[in-house]
Structure formats: structure tokens, C-alpha cells
A = this chain, B = another copy of it.
Amino acid sequence: MISIAIMGHGVVGSGVAEIFATHKKKLFAAIGEEIDVKYILDLREFPDSPFADRFTKDFSKIANDLEVRVVVETMGGLHPAYEYVKECLSSGKSVVTSNKELVAAYGAELLAIASEQNANFLFEASVGGGIPIIRPINQCLVANNVSEIAGILNGTTNFILTKMFHEGMGFDEALKMAQELGYAERNPEADVEGHDACRKICILASLTFGKHIYPEAVHTEGITKITAADVEYAGEWGGVIKLIGSVKKLGKDTIDIIVAPMFVPNLSQLANIDDVFNGIMVRGDCTGDVVFYGRGAGKLPTASAVVADVIDSIKHLKSRKYLFWSDSDNGSVLPYEESVRAMYVRGVADDKAAAYDNAKAVFGGVHQLSRKNAAENELAFITEPMALSEFEEKLAKVDGFKAESVIRIGDL
């Protein structure tokens, strides 16, 4: 019998407890031992829970119980999750978390403590919910040099963008619907401003390239400024708009990492990923493109990824999993103004034909887009790939044109 503790009885944490109850037999078969959820830490009362007798409000009970070998952290937020996880790892307990904020902020430090203590620190559920991604990158693709990862990493924004694209909703209307359906929080900022996707691409980048990339170092744009007009132009161009977290290896020590809405061509496997689903493309030198698709959030998908990590921790109580990255000063991150991409521009022209001629003269190759019911002075075009700084310089030189929307073209 192996004893574990679960810290946090919210959506994911209660799902973890539920799976240990409902999938007892399958989990027993996987490791040949019974798993006992000995403690559940939460400040709230759950008198009607089938686990009522396991609840405690006292973290020290868990920390000081030598029988507890694996601790699940599903509290969310940075504090006290960080302090609790650190204490557990420091005393040699393995920790499994679904907390992307924690991993993105303190991953390197916590992995180093785990390594010293020969314990495991696993976080499959922190990216892509129930989609296997951390373990496949770390194990299955180990014989690849990964050059790029790009993904739809946030279900809330993908739902909103899907409604805007397929049902012609505006951003506000689609957000309201997402909130009503429970896909978006009342304060939707972490989702719609891209912070959630940013934490996830940071975790994937850190894992893949071996150095911690902190969210503060990553240029992050949300989807609040996307309009129905942009969505229509994307369709005319032959694609859709998706919020993409992307990281590319440029040279030995440089990575180009960004979170931003992008035009995604219909032929890309990411273009067809709709609603609250997530999809992550990993480009390896041996495998080529591999794509992982599924529910990136939700109680049971996320909880099942947590439970899988618990099982893996138990299998490796003595022999630690090789999951590691070192700390860094973010020095490898390319300044975002130097990142090279083709750009979509929509704006208002004094004289449309003249402004387009100006754009052609300034940018060289540009490709005009059209849409039905556009105002007469609306002009939209796509540029060739160039550094953002060069693009912005040139855009300012296009006489008689005021840009209202600029969106990157993803090479996905």
C-alpha cells in the first residue's frame, strides 16, 4: 500500500480523488499495489464527500508523515503552493502538479531540489490537460532534435475564436457565451490576454531546450483586439485565426518564443482544432511534425493526467525519472522585435488604390486581401516575412494609410 496526499480539492483535485476511487482496479493492475489517499488538504469543509475522513487543514500533517511518498498539488496559484511543494520535495517526497503557473515560475528550482533528493517532480497535466505531451516530448521524442513547437494551448480563447470564425460572433459576444458555458472565468484576463498560453509554451520550451524560460521574457499578445473583419480576411486568405504559442530554435543558443494570434493556413493540422480543444505540434529532425490533440482542460481530463504522473512516480520511487532543465537568465530569448514573420495588416486608407501602391512601394511584395461588405476605404494586405522592427518602420512609411489591426502569419 502506497500513501499519497492531495493538496487542494477544487475542480482538478476533486477529480484526482474521484479517479483514485473509480479506477482503483485499473490502477492496481498498473503497479501491483493499492494506493491510499491518506490526506486531502483544503481549508474548506466537505462533510458530504466520500473522502470526508481524509480532509485536513494542516499541511504539516502531510509534510511530517513519512508514509506519504507522493503529494499531488492542485491548489493553483503561486502561494502557498510553491512553499508546500518545496517542503515536500526537500523531504524526499515526490510531487505531481497540474499548476502551470507554479511550473513556469519555479520549475528549474523545484526540479533541482527533486534531483538532489532523488524524488520526482512531474507535471504532465500543466500543459494540454488530458493530452499526453510532456512525457512524449521527454521520452518518445528523445532521439530528435526538436526545432519548433507550436500549439493552441488555451481552450477558452480557442472556443471564442471558433465562435467568431464559424458563427460570425464578435469577441464580446463569444466571450460572454464562453463565460455562460463555464469555459471562461468571470475575470477572463489570464486566458484572453494570453498569459495562460504563455506559461504553457514556457514549460514546453524549458523542457525541450533544457533551460528555464520565464514568462516575463516572452512577448505575449491576447485576442481582445481581433475583429470580425480580421476573421473574414483570414478566411479569404485561406485560413483561420488561432492564438498560438510558438517556440523555435534559431541557433545554438537562441530561441524565438512568442504568444500571439496568428493566421493559420487551412492545410495546417492546427487549423482544424476547434472549440475548447487544444493541439500541439512538435517538429523533430527525425520524426517531422507530430501533432497531439485533445481536451486541454476540464476536471477529469486534467485529473487523469495527474493520476498517470502519480502512477509513474510510484513506479520510480527509487529510480528518479530523467526530467530536468537548468535555470537561466532568459538570455537565449530573441528580442521579439527581431522575430521574422510575414504580417497581415488591415487599416483605413485615404485613397485605397493609392495607399496600396504606397504599401507596394514601401514593402516590396505585398498581397492584397478582399472581403465582402468592406467599407470602401478599408485596405488589407499581407507582407513578405521580415523582422517586426523592420515591418513597423516600413508600415509607418505607408502614406495615406492608418493600420487598425496587425496579425502575424504563422508558418505552421
Binding site for B on A (CB under 8 A): 19, 23, 26-27, 29-31, 124, 130-132, 135-136, 139-145, 210, 269, 272, 284-295, 298, 300-301, 303-305, 307-308, 311-312, 315-316, 318-319, 322
Contact = CB atoms under 8 A, between A and B. Distances in A.
Highest count of chain B CB atoms <10 Å: which of A19, A130, A286: A286
Contacts of A301: 286-288
Describe A's contact surface by its main secondary structure: mixed
The number of times this chain is found in the oligomer is 2
Contact of A272 (B135, B272, B294, B305): B272
A78 to B, nearest CB: 26
A23 B285 CA distance: 10
B136 A132 contact: yes
B26 A143 contact: yes
Contacts of A294: 287-291
A145 B322 contact: no
A272 B284 CA distance: 21
A29 B136 CA distance: 17
A210 B29 CA distance: 10
A293 B269 contact: yes
Given A132-B132, A132-B136, A322-B31, A142 B308 contact: yes
A331 B26 CA distance: 21
A373 B236 CA distance: 30
Contacts of A291: 291-294
Nearest to A300: B286
A132 B142 contact: no
Contact of A300 (B29, B287, B298): B287
Given A23-B143, A144-B304, A316-B319, 20 more contacts: A19-B143, A23-B144, A124-B140, A130-B284, A130-B288, A131-B287, A132-B132, A132-B141, A136-B136, A136-B140, A142-B311, A269-B272, A272-B272, A286-B300, A287-B300, A288-B298, A289-B293, A289-B294, A290-B294, A291-B293
